[in-house]
A and B are shown apart, each in its own frame.
Chain A
Amino acid sequence: MKLLKLALRNLLGARLRTWLNVIVLSFAFVTIIGLQGVYEGMNRQAMQAEIEAEYGGGQFWHPEYNPYDPLTLQEAHDSPPPEIQEMINKGEATPILILQGTAYPQGRFYPVLLKGIDPGQKILNIPSFVLNDQEEEFPALIGTRMAESLKIKAGDKVTLRWRDVNGTFDAREATIVHVMRTTVQAIDQGQIWLPLEKLQQLAGMEKAATIVVVDKNIKNIPENAGWVLKDQKTLLRDIQELVKTKTVGSSILYIILMLLAMLAIFDTQVLSIWRRRKEIGTLMALGMTRWSVVKLFTLEGALHGILATLVGAIYGLPLLTLFARKGWGMPEAVDSYGFAIGERIYPIYSGGLILGTTLLVLIVTTIVSFLPSRRIAKMKPTEALRGKIQ
């Protein structure tokens, strides 16, 4: 308490030097929390969007289905086993038939996945109801990225080709009834959504599906229902890994920020010890032990961290709250980032993030302050009083 009082007095007495360090450190502190919050928000938003539009509460996969091997698609379809069919009948799950196909927009050809979905399904956040269009014989739904790739728009017609159940090529002209805007690339890029029954009928695969998506609100999904169960956690693993990779990238930025701030503290400490060597001698003459002086100087340095937290809170709290409310506008370029990013990212600042960052700043500041202060322990009071450092 005694040392704390003296350290605080010294620190505040140094005025501008202290406040410059504190401002630099608080900037690093707020930026780290801000950036981490954006990544946390991005992570949550991406996962939420993936759950709502693609994964639901989990998926049953046909045993032959491998999303990374398109050649398996020809064999990966069948009527869902009874237990899964019962879930479909109860509205707890929705089947999706996936076929490898080719689109021929304006004479060009484009490999696509044809996905049959029940137009009346409520499990996934996809506007499948537009496929109920009675006026069009073969309505199709695509996303904005797909529309951009194929250079087509709502109302355009595009020829689609696929292999039926016997491996024979078949083709039909589909009408794009709607172009949906979605943050989830996995339901947009390279995919054309069609009415399930129509696709089953055209491919000769009545009642067949490739995957069955379970409602996200269903808690106890049967594990041994006949098809391979991919729970939500497993399905989200890839995106979590991706986010982790991006987070490592962002860490470099805040490591640099922290290094800059720590360099300022370290520099201040070294200069302080050099400039105040007579004062150090005086403190010893007045009755402080060498280690008390080391502790005093370390505490002075560490208090930069505490002051930076307080100063950071003064301008950081309103600033970060504003970002959390208004969101962080994302440029269109980040659409190619690899996972679902909305037009605005809403940062999430968890208690753990704030507490963790605060502790990190305080611990690192203390260590950085202690390192140069150790020299004091080697000082002789008589030499220090004469302004010398061993």
Chain B
Amino acid sequence: MENNQLILTQKLTKIYPMGQHQLYALKEVDLSFGPGEFAGLVGPSGSGKTTFLNIVGSLDVPSQGQVEVLGRRIETLTHKEAAELRKKHIGFIFQTFNLLPVYTVFENVEFPLILLGLPSSERRQRVMEALEWVRLADRANSRPAQLSGGECQRVAIARAIVKKPALILADEPTANLDAENSHNILQIMARLNQELGITFIFATHDEKVIGYLKRKITLVDGRVTKDETYSSQPGMEGHHEAS
């Protein structure tokens, strides 16, 4: 495998047993992602987008093939090593935000830093920086139940970026948001990509998200059918030029 890639998959296959039959969620997917990418897996439901993100995020393992993330072979990692990889290098953004309901905004964002064992003063500084990024510093003491959907997703973004990961995996991040909130959070993520160099990989079928992507990979029935990159900057909706 090449070492300059953040993610590299070779013949990645994921099979789910379905009674007597087998369901191929991914079939021999060969993809690579470099640092600073703003890419999306696009396709209909059941095309394997989430499965791909789960495997790359070390939440699942491939049935066949090889997956290398940040130099680590996912299929060989123990539970502990996989958790360590997620803790240090990978951020997740979910469709349903997945905030911890009993925590305040501040505590939710602080959570990954507690796992990393950072001292209290550094945690506070980094949490406030992350909340500034998503323009929620004034809601630090609110609980998720007191926030709108857009605000919740911004908290989730802050939680994902606060540990300054190399990679953020976002699974349908705009599916529960209205158009205005969707654009807000996409602009935030595009800015984080540009200014901090964080790699974003989306799983989406939302046209609004697609409009921001630098690279669009189309999956159909677990296979890559198209892999397009665009010369224009993210956020320049409608100005994509495939190369």
Q: Which residues on A are within 8 Å of B, measured CB to CB?
A: 2, 5-6, 9-10, 12-14, 278-279, 281-282, 284-290, 292, 380-382, 385
Q: How far is the CA of A190 from the CA of B38 in the complex (A)?
A: 99
Closest approach, in angstroms, between the C-beta of A290 and any C-beta of chain B? 6
Task: Please tell me if the beta carbons of A287 and B60 are within 8 angstroms of each other in the complex.
Answer: no
Partner of B114, one of A2, A13, A285, A380: A2
Closest approach, in angstroms, between the C-beta of B83 and any C-beta of chain A? 4
Task: Please tell me if the beta carbons of B79 and A287 are within 8 angstroms of each other in the complex.
Answer: no
Asked, given contacts A9-B103, A279-B100, A381-B59, whether A284 binds B83 with beta carbons under 8 Å apart, the answer is yes
Q: Classify the secondary structure of A's interface with B.
A: helix
Q: How far is the CA of A381 from the CA of B83 in the complex (A)?
A: 10
Q: Which residues of B contact A288 (CB under 8 A)?
A: 83, 87, 115
Q: How far is the CA of A6 from the CA of B108 in the complex (A)?
A: 11
List 28 A-B residue pairs with CB atoms under 8 Å apart, sorted by A's residue number: A2-B115, A6-B111, A6-B114, A9-B107, A10-B100, A13-B102, A13-B103, A14-B102, A278-B98, A279-B98, A279-B101, A282-B94, A284-B59, A284-B83, A284-B86, A285-B59, A286-B92, A286-B112, A287-B84, A287-B86, A287-B87, A287-B116, A288-B83, A288-B87, A289-B79, A292-B83, A382-B60, A385-B94
Q: How far is the CA of A287 from the CA of B111 in the complex (A)?
A: 10
Give the residue name and chain of the A residue nearest to B53 (CB): A382
Partner of B111, one of A278, A286, A292: A286
Q: Classify the secondary structure of B's interface with A.
A: helix
Most chain B CB neighbours (cut-off 10 Å) among A13, A278, A285, A289: A285
Q: Does B54 contact A (CB under 8 A)?
A: yes
Q: Which residues of A contact B87 (CB under 8 A)?
A: 286-288
Q: Which residues of B contact A381 (CB under 8 A)?
A: 54, 59-60
Q: How far is the CA of A381 from the CA of B169 in the complex (A)?
A: 15
Q: Which residues of B contact A281 (CB under 8 A)?
A: 98
Q: Does B117 contact A (CB under 8 A)?
A: yes
Q: Which residues of A contact B102 (CB under 8 A)?
A: 9-10, 12-14
Q: Which of B38-87 contact A (CB under 8 A)?
A: 54, 57, 59-60, 79-80, 83-84, 86-87
Q: Which residues of A contact B103 (CB under 8 A)?
A: 9, 13
Q: How far is the CA of A385 from the CA of B169 in the complex (A)?
A: 14
Task: Please tell me if the beta carbons of A2 and B54 are within 8 angstroms of each other in the complex.
Answer: no
Task: Please tell me if the beta carbons of A289 and B80 are within 8 angstroms of each other in the complex.
Answer: yes
Q: How far is the CA of A13 from the CA of B100 in the complex (A)?
A: 10
Q: Does B181 contact A (CB under 8 A)?
A: no
Most chain A CB neighbours (cut-off 10 Å) among B101, B112, B116: B101
Give the residue name and chain of the B residue nearest to A285 (CB): B92
Give the residue name and chain of the B residue nearest to A381 (CB): B59
Q: How far is the CA of A290 from the CA of B80 in the complex (A)?
A: 8
Q: Does B187 contact A (CB under 8 A)?
A: no
Q: Which residues of A contact B101 (CB under 8 A)?
A: 13, 279
Q: Which residues of A contact B116 (CB under 8 A)?
A: 287
Task: Please tell me if the beta carbons of B117 and A290 are within 8 angstroms of each other in the complex.
Answer: no
Q: Does B10 contact A (CB under 8 A)?
A: no
Q: How far is the CA of A10 from the CA of B101 in the complex (A)?
A: 9
Q: Does B96 contact A (CB under 8 A)?
A: yes
Q: Which residues of A contact B115 (CB under 8 A)?
A: 2, 286-288
Give the residue name and chain of the A residue nearest to B54 (CB): A382
Q: Which residues of A contact B223 (CB under 8 A)?
A: none
Closest approach, in angstroms, between the C-beta of B114 and any C-beta of chain A? 6
Q: Does B208 contact A (CB under 8 A)?
A: no
Closest approach, in angstroms, between the C-beta of A347 and any C-beta of chain B? 39
Give the residue name and chain of the A residue nearest to B114 (CB): A2
Q: Which residues of A contact B139 (CB under 8 A)?
A: none
Q: Which residues of B contact A292 (CB under 8 A)?
A: 83
Q: How far is the CA of A13 from the CA of B108 in the complex (A)?
A: 12
Q: Which residues of A contact B100 (CB under 8 A)?
A: 10, 279, 282
Closest approach, in angstroms, between the C-beta of A12 and any C-beta of chain B? 8
Q: Does B205 contact A (CB under 8 A)?
A: no
Task: Please tell me if the beta carbons of B86 and A286 are within 8 angstroms of each other in the complex.
Answer: yes
Q: Does B164 contact A (CB under 8 A)?
A: no
Q: How far is the CA of A210 from the CA of B92 in the complex (A)?
A: 90
Partner of A5, one of B54, B59, B79, B114: B114
Q: Which residues of B contact A285 (CB under 8 A)?
A: 57, 59, 86, 92, 94, 98
Q: How far is the CA of A382 from the CA of B58 in the complex (A)?
A: 10
Q: How far is the CA of A117 from the CA of B3 in the complex (A)?
A: 104
Q: How far is the CA of A101 from the CA of B32 in the complex (A)?
A: 108
Q: Does B11 contact A (CB under 8 A)?
A: no
